[in-house]
A and B are shown apart, each in its own frame.
Chain A
Amino acid sequence: MTDQRDDKKDTVGSLDEADLDLLFSAARSAAPDPDAALLARIETDGLAEMPRARTARLGQEQSIASRLARIADRLVWPAGLSAAALVGLWVGVSVSPQVPLLAEGLIGTDLGFAVAGLFPSVDLVGGGY
């Protein structure tokens, strides 16, 4: 390592190396210190930038997003339920033995015979099957 010994041989001028050393020593003793307000600002920055704090902020953002998603789910869910209910109703109506409309449509047809064969308990109104 090149040290102060190397610096000394290069120093020339009206002040010698010893004088300069005294000046540097005085300047080191009078080093400017940051005030408390600056330290507080720096520490505040540090806490705000701390990875966990950033994660928490990110989590908060994600939380907002998931809340929006839940609201969207609630809006979509009734629509889905309604659709399912309608399909169920249609299926129910379609296979119900108590619905004459369907029975009438089936009486005397090949499909009617097939249904009667598969579902003997189904009483096609007036069909006598």
Chain B
Amino acid sequence: MSMPFDAESRQSDTSLLRRYAAGDARAARALTQRLSPMVFRVAVRLLGDRAEAEDIAQEAMLRLWRIAPDWREGDASVSTWLYRVTVNLCTDRLRSPRSRSAGWPDDFDPPDDTPGPEMRLQEAARATALESALGVLPERQRTAVVLRNLEGLSNPEIADIMDVSVEAVESLVARGKRALAKLLAKQREELGFSDD
């Protein structure tokens, strides 16, 4: 995504949040452009539903706007705080009886915005297969794997977000990856691994 706000793009999240709290509208726009994609991406991967992920993204960002005046320098990083809020909101949504995405079907096919020939490309097939398999993982394993292997966070960061020990994160990630390997084994050939 392009970032047309050069002055803002060089600033840290905390600086932007401070400017936002001081009433700077450009900071609101910069924070929206910078942080919303991350929140939305995680929510889609945890919930498997774009519409629900949009609700979560809007709610998580609303909480950020509201906490901005009280944000302290010594607090967690803005992105870590936002990951935590997003994960908690998704967890609540998944545990809610009215959740549309609670219990992903085995043949879950993630929403696809670009149907057609492109989807036959191997990369897209792999991405689709992985996201389908993620939906089958237990909630906490899925969260740990998404944060570790798709968002690229460190284990201590994930431990902070999920409020568990680093050892628990390691265990969740390892078990999650083992489960993914087994779930995707039967698609090995169609994912193009037989020739690797």
Contacts and interface: CB of A to CB of B under 8 A. Distances in A.
Q: Do A and B bind each other?
A: yes
Interface of A: 1-3, 6-7, 10-16, 18-20, 22-24, 26-34, 38-39, 41-43, 45-47, 49-53
Interface of B: 1, 20-23, 25, 28-29, 31-33, 36-37, 40-41, 44-45, 50, 53-54, 57-58, 61-62, 65-66, 68-69, 111, 113, 122-124, 126-131, 148-150, 154-156, 166, 170, 173-174, 177-178, 180-182, 184-186, 188, 191, 193, 196
Given A31-B150, A38-B57, A46-B31, 20 more contacts: A2-B155, A7-B149, A7-B174, A10-B170, A12-B178, A13-B185, A14-B182, A15-B193, A23-B129, A23-B184, A24-B130, A28-B150, A32-B40, A33-B37, A33-B40, A34-B36, A41-B58, A42-B58, A45-B58, A47-B25
21 contacts: A1-B156, A2-B154, A2-B166, A12-B181, A13-B182, A14-B184, A15-B188, A20-B180, A32-B41, A32-B44, A34-B40, A34-B57, A39-B32, A42-B36, A43-B29, A46-B61, A49-B62, A49-B66, A49-B68, A51-B68, A51-B69
Nearest to B32: A43
Q: Is the interface of A mostly helix, strand, loop or mixed?
A: helix
A50 B20 contact: yes
Contacts, number: 157
A48 B69 CA distance: 14
A45 B170 contact: no
Nearest to A29: B123
Contact of B65 (A3, A23, A34, A50): A50
B164 to A, nearest CB: 13
A22 B25 CA distance: 41
Given A2-B170, A11-B181, A27 B150 contact: yes
Nearest to B66: A49
A26 B124 contact: yes
Contacts of B182: 13-14
Contact of B28 (A14, A23, A26, A47): A47
Contacts of B185: 13-15
A46 B22 CA distance: 13
